[in-house]
Every structure is written in structure tokens, then in C-alpha cells.
């Protein structure tokens, strides 16, 4: 092999060496050095895709964990007439083609989260994605597989679990649940209110409006079904339409249940039985619901109680996980276990090529909880779910909501 400077540039030498070692796919571009390339301790190039209300905050999250990020590109479907193909874009694919972009913040509506995240992983970018992670369950699994395949960093845009991991009582609960010794678990976790159910209920049968001159409506719709433009389908009110999100439950739920997933060691599984109390669902717009009860295979029950419609949840009393109620021989084994590894924030994960705390599998399992709740609301009947095969059992109609068709040419 030629030495650097003898028929081969330094970057070529390092790239060839890394490839020969079989590790090039997991070495970030900025580590390779060479002209125009900076080490992780210095500045990396960043892009924001989706420049609405949540955009700036999501982009700031790229710097958590000590990463210096310089914003080089902005992308939004409302940039028609402003796109210059240098800094401002309407098509995220043009952003991902840039070799000077290392990290990407995604703050689009959720029907775009999965496809853009997957494309970014394929392009060698690390991703911080707004919540909820996906619009339907199969999308989330596709994201997990892509980030495993390309060995990129993924962090969901909620950091609640980091507080749990620094709380001694929550760490102890995590150890109890991850030990597998507590079977069955009679814990009942009830989250009351804060779901913005009425606020993000959609409006049906609105008359079509002219598409604004600055909006690429076809690109906004993307993989969702093409519908006539109405302003409520954009901005914050997009949350009220099944085509793009899942109401206030999807909007707020990942904030609430990401820390729950960590504390109760559910990052690798999902509920197996779901029941809901809700108003009859509209096929296009999200509506009102009272509560959803989701039970895991080990008996742990999690309840979403909206407090905005119908009767409040009263099927089971809340029951916390109290170590004093657990057999002493179990607690001795639990307390002998090592504490879990510290959760790694996005910037540190990028610099050190580690898995981020809110990684793709954890984010997918949390989003799945929300999707299952919405499927029970939409179908109006209990559902049984296989968390390994990720399929709803014995209900083909409900199971079609696990893997929703995308509008051509978009596909997973």
C-alpha cells in the first residue's frame, strides 16, 4: 500500500485503511481528517430539516453532550421561491447529498420522520429526530434496522429518561424490572392529563383552499395520501389528522412515556393487550378519548387517562413499584446487580461512536405504545399484540394500521 504523499492522499490512505479493517462504515466522516474535515472535538456540519416552530429547538439538541455544530443548511417545504441550493432547500434529499453535513436535526411533521431518518442513515449522517418517532409501527422498525445497518447515531428529540437515570429510586426500579425476577408484576402506572386531546382534534369536511405560493404541497404530503390543501393540515394543527400524526396523544406521549420505558425496562418490548374508551373515530381526523389501558406480558399496566372526555379511568388503582413490597430474597439479588451504564447524550454519542440514550430501538418501542393506543381508539375494540413479530393478532383490519401503505413513489 503506498504511503501518504506517495501516489495517495492522506484521506485516501485513511479511507483505504479503514475499509481494509472493515470499520469504515462506522467511522464518521469528520474522524478521517484531511482538508476541510475536522476532528470530533471541533466543529461539525449540521442541517435542519423542518424549520417550523420546533425546528430551532430541535437543532439546538444536536449540541447536547459537547458537540460543536455549525448550521450549514436549512430545508423546508415552505421555502418555494427562497431555495438557493446552497443553504436553503425544499427537498431534503439535496441536503443529504452534501458531504459537509455530518449531523441532521429532523423537525418535520411525523409522517416524514422515518423516511428522512432512514435516508440520512444511508447517507452517513447522525440524526436527532423530533417526537413522535414515526406515524405507524412498521416505520419505526425500518428506522431501527437502518441505523443498525449503517452504524449511525440516532436520538429521539426527548430527553426525559436522562433524569430518571440520575435518580437513585428510579435506577432501583429499573434494576428490579430488568432483572426479570418480578413475575407477575402488579404495578399500575397511570398518567393523567396533558395529552391535548381537544386541542389537537381535527376538523373534517373543510373546503379546499388555494395552495400558498411559498409551499410545495406535493412534497409536504410526501408519503401520506394526497388530499386537497386546507391550512389546518399544516402548522401545529396537522396533529389532528391521521395522515400526518396521531392527535395530542402522539404529540405529547413520547415525552411522558420515554422515561417510563427506561424506568420499567421496556425498551425492548411492547404491550400485549390494549383497551380504550373513546368516542367513535373519524377515518381522517383525530377525536376525543377518555382512557387507554395497555398491559405488558409480565403484568405491568400503563394507563393513559385524558381527563378531557367521558368517564375517568377506574378499572385499576394506581400501584407503584415499592421495593418494600417485594420479597427480600429478590431485592438482595437486585441490589447485588451493577447499576446500568450511564445514558449517553447525542453529542457524546457522535464523538465517541456510542449508542445514544434515546436510541432507535427505545424510541420505536415508546412510539409503538402510542400507536397501539391510537389503534384501539380508532377501531373501538380491544387488541392483542405480538411484540416480537410486531403484529396485531386475530384482527386483520386493526393490523393494517401497523403498516400503512405509502403514496408512490415513497416507500420504506
In the chain, where the domains are located: 10-161, 163-343+358-399
- By the 8 A CB rule, do 133 and 143 touch? yes
Q: What is the pLDDT of residue 39?
A: 54
DSSP β-ladder status, 273-278 and 383-386: antiparallel
Question: What pLDDT, on the 0 to 100 scale, is given for residue 10?
Answer: 31
CA dist., res. 373 & res. 343, Å (int): 27
Sign of the alpha-carbon dihedral angle for 358, 363, 365, 369: positive
Q: Give the chain's largest Cα–Cα span.
A: 77
Is residue 395 within 8 A of residue 376, CB to CB? The reply is no
pLDDT, averaged in runs of 10, over the chain (412 residues): 36 34 39 47 90 93 95 98 95 98 98 98 98 98 98 96 94 95 93 97 97 98 98 97 97 96 97 98 97 97 98 96 92 95 96 97 98 98 98 98 98 95
Q: What is the DSSP letter of 108?
A: S
Q: How far is CA 158 from CA 47, 58, 80, 174, 305, in A?
A: 19, 9, 30, 19, 21
CA-to-CA dists, residue 345 to 24, 160, 315, 349, angstroms: 23, 12, 38, 6
pTM (2 decimals)?
Answer: 0.89
Q: How far apart are CA 296 and CA 268, in angstroms?
A: 12
Instruction: Report the pLDDT value the prediction gives residue 85, as an integer from 0 to 100.
Output: 87
Query: Which residues lie across from 292 on neighbouring strands?
Result: 276, 304
pLDDT tens sequence across 133-174 = 999 999 999 999 999 999 999 999 999 999 999 999 999 999
- CATH class as words, domain 10-161: alpha beta
In this predicted structure, what is the pLDDT of residue 367?
Answer: 98
Listed in sequence order, the residues at least 6 apart from 379 whose beta carbon sits closer than 8 Å to its beta carbon are 281, 395, 397, 398, 401
Same fold, 10-161 and 163-343+358-399: no
Question: pLDDT value at position 42?
Answer: 72
pLDDT digits (tens, 9 = 90+) for 320-359: 999 999 999 999 999 999 999 999 999 999 999 999 999 9
Phi, psi angles (nearest 5°) of residue 72? -110, -15
Read off the C-alpha cell for 335: 441490589
User: What does residue 128 show for φ and ψ, rounded to 5 degrees?
Assistant: -115, 120
CATH number of 163-343+358-399: 3.30.360
Contact by Cβ (8 Å): 409, 222: no
Which pairing describes strands 289-295 and 273-278: parallel, antiparallel, or unpaired?
antiparallel
What is the grid cell recorded at 236?
Answer: 401545529
Amino acid at each position: 500500500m503506498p504511503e501518504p504523499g506517495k501516489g495517495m492522499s492522506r484521506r485516501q490512505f485513511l479511507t483505504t485503511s479503514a475499509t481494509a479493517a472493515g470499520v469504515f462504515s462506522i467511522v464518521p466522516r469528520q474522524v478521517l481528517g484531511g482538508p476541510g474535515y475536522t476532528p470530533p472535538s471541533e466543529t461539525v456540519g449540521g442541517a435542519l430539516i423542518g424549520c417550523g416552530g420546533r425546528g430551532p429547538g430541535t437543532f439546538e439538541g444536536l449540541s447536547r453532550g459537547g458537540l460543536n455544530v455549525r448550521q450549514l443548511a436549512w430545508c423546508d417545504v415552505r421555502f418555494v421561491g427562497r431555495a438557493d441550493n446552497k443553504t436553503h432547500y425544499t427537498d431534503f434529499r439535496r441536503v443529504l447529498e452534501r458531504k459537509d453535513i455530518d449531523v441532521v436535526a429532523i423537525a418535520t411533521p411525523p409522517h416524514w420522520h422515518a423516511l428522512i431518518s432512514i435516508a440520512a442513515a444511508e447517507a452517513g449522517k447522525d440524526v436527532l429526530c423530533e417526537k413522535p418517532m414515526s406515524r405507524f409501527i412498521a416505520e419505526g422498525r425500518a428506522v431501527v434496522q437502518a441505523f443498525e445497518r449503517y452504524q449511525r447515531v440516532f436520538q429521539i428529540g426527548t430527553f426525559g429518561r436522562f433524569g430518571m437515570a440520575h435518580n437513585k429510586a428510579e435506577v432501583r426500579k429499573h434494576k428490579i424490572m430488568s432483572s426479570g425476577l418480578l413475575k407477575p408484576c402488579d404495578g399500575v402506572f397511570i398518567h393523567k392529563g396533558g395529552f391535548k386531546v381537544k386541542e389537537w382534534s381535527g376538523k373534517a369536511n373543510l373546503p379546499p383552499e388555494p395552495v400558498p405560493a411559498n409551499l410545495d404541497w406535493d412534497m409536504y404530503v410526501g408519503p401520506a395520501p394526497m388530499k386537497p390543501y386546507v391550512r389546518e393540515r399544516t402548522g401545529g394543527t396537522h396533529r389532528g389528522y391521521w395522515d400526518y400524526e396521531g392527535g395530542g396523544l402522539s404529540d405529547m406521549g413520547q415525552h411522558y412515556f420515554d422515561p417510563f420505558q427506561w424506568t420499567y425496562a421496556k425498551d425492548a418490548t411492547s404491550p400485549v393487550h390494549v383497551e380504550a374508551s373513546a368516542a367513535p373515530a373519524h377515518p381522517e381526523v383525530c377525536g376525543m378519548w377518555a382512557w387507554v389501558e395497555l398491559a405488558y406480558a409480565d403484568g405491568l399496566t400503563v394507563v393513559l387517562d385524558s381527563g378531557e372526555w367521558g368517564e375517568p379511568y377506574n378499572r385499576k388503582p394506581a400501584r407503584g413499584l415499592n421495593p418494600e413490597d417485594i420479597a427480600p430474597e429478590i431485592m438482595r439479588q437486585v441490589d447485588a446487580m451493577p447499576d446500568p451504564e450511564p445514558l449517553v447524550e447525542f453529542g457524546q454519542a457522535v464523538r465517541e461512536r456510542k449508542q445514544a440514550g434515546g436510541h432507535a430501538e427505545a424510541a420505536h418501542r415508546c412510539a409503538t405504545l402510542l400507536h397501539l393506543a391510537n389503534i384501539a381508539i380508532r377501531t373501538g375494540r380491544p387488541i392483542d399484540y405480538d411484540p416480537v413479530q410486531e403484529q396485531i393478532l386475530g384482527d386483520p383490519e386493526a393490523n393494517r394500521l401497523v403498516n400503512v401503505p405509502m403514496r408512490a413513489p415513497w416507500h420504506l
